Amino acid sequence: GLIPVDGKAIGHLNYCSLINLRGVSYTNKRRPPLHETETSVENVLPFLLERMGPFFLVPILVGDLKDLDGHYSAARIEAVADAIRGIMDEKTLLVVSTDFTHYGNDLSFRPFSENVSENIEQLDRQAIDLVIKRDFDGFIKYLEKTHNPICGQAALLILMKLLPEQARGQMLGYAQSMTKTKDPNRSVSYAAINFYDPTQPPRPAI
C-alpha cells in the first residue's frame, strides 16, 4: 500500500545539523544512493500497515555518529535523539530495525569456529540484555570489546536515549539464519524487542 510521509515532522528534523534531508531519486547518479538501496525501512512497512492501518511515516537512516577517533560521540547521539524527541508524542510508535550478529568470513566476523550457534547466541544475548537495560555506556563497551558488526548499533544507541526512564523491555523472539539455511559458516541474527510503559494502560487492539 501507499504510506504518506509526515512532511511537517521531517521539516522539523531538518533543524538538526546532524540530519540531512534526502529525496528518493533512482536517476541521480551523482550522489551515493541511501534510501534507494536501503531495505530496513521497507521491510517493516507491510507489517505496520497491516497491523496499524493508515499512518504517517518519518523514515530515518542512521550513520555511525562517531568522532574523528572512531568512537561513538555521546553528544552527537544525544543531539539526534533530541531532534527526534521533538516530533514524538503519545501516539508515536518508534521502530528501530537492525540485525544483530553477522557471522562469517564474507561478513568479516568470525571470532570462533566451534559451537558456532551457541557462541553467536551468547554474543547476541549480551547485546540484547544491554539494550533492554538501556545501558548506553555498557553497549558501547560491548561493541568495542567484541567488534560485533551489528548494523544498526548507532540506531540502538539513539533508542536508549529516547526511551523514558519508566520504560521496560522484553524480548519477544530470537532466531539465527543458520537454523534455516543449515550453513554453519554464515549466519545473521534477529530479535524482536518490545518496550512499554508499565504505568500506562495498554492501548486497545486494532
Distances (CA, A) of 169 to 55, 142, 172, 197: 24, 19, 10, 9
Sheet holding 168-176, edge to edge: 102-104, 186-196, 168-176
Kindly report, residue by residue over 154-191, the tens digit of the pLDDT: 999 999 999 999 999 999 999 999 999 999 899 999 99
Direct distance between the N- and C-terminal alpha carbons of the chain, in angstroms, rounded to an integer: 18
Query: Cβ contacts of residue 70 below 8 Å, gap of 6+?
Result: none
Kindly report, residue by residue over 19-31, the tens digit of the pLDDT: 988 888 888 888 8
Distances (CA, A) of 80 to 12, 137, 157, 183, 186: 12, 17, 10, 38, 33
Q: Is the pTM of this model over 0.85?
A: yes
In the chain, the percentage of residues whose pLDDT exceeds 70 is 99
Q: Is the pLDDT of residue 205 over 80?
A: no
- Name the amino acid, one letter, at 205: A
Q: Which residue has the cell 524527541?
A: 85
